[in-house]
Structure 1
Amino acid sequence: MKRYCLALDLVDDPEIIEQYKLHHQKVPGLIEKSIREAGIKVMEIYLTGNRLFMIMEVNDDFSFEKKGKMDAANEGVQKWEQMMDQLQKALPWAKPGEKWVLMDKIFSLKK
């Protein structure tokens, strides 16, 4: 199993942030299904201010390219993403069209 950590900002508006939180308290089943079918075993999203932090644990078959193709072919996921796009704001250093940005691990405390 592999772990990825990603970051993204929300539009810096308390109402927008609250909307995002409410949407994620009841994620539609088809969105959860698409996440699982892509090989994501665990997904958690944390919030501080307007900055989001996501942790994903994935199986050996997972790839961001495969997930992107699956999402592009899924009308329900596209509708969800369009709704989320209204609430999200790319990080200043994100590449054009990039939303969630992969984070580099710089420290790990081992047993």
Structure 2
Amino acid sequence: MTQADCTLTSSAFSGALRVPGKVNLPSFGRATPPMTIACTDGKKTVTQTVEVTNLTKLKAQENAAAQVLWGGGLLGAAVLAGMSSERDKSLDLYGYPPKIQVK
């Protein structure tokens, strides 16, 4: 779908937008409920469920991948993985992924 009208629904909120687009979604930490996205482009409707994501872990994985790509190599990835395992997981941030692709 290149352009579509979408509805976003969960047990905590609902909304609508035209995609491609950007929207700020609420976060309820670990209690963030699954969200259903239904998009219609006039010809077909696509529905997708989005689950809560550990955003802290996602960011650490992105940083490790960047280290491998930009010269840190395996050593850089190993250091970041070690730092990730030592972090206080009770402080992790949860919410919806920063980028959602409806397929």
TM-score, with structure 2 as normaliser: 0.22
Larger RCO (CA within 8 A; separation ≥ 6): 1
> Which of the pair has more CA radius of gyration?
2
TM-score, with structure 1 as normaliser: 0.21
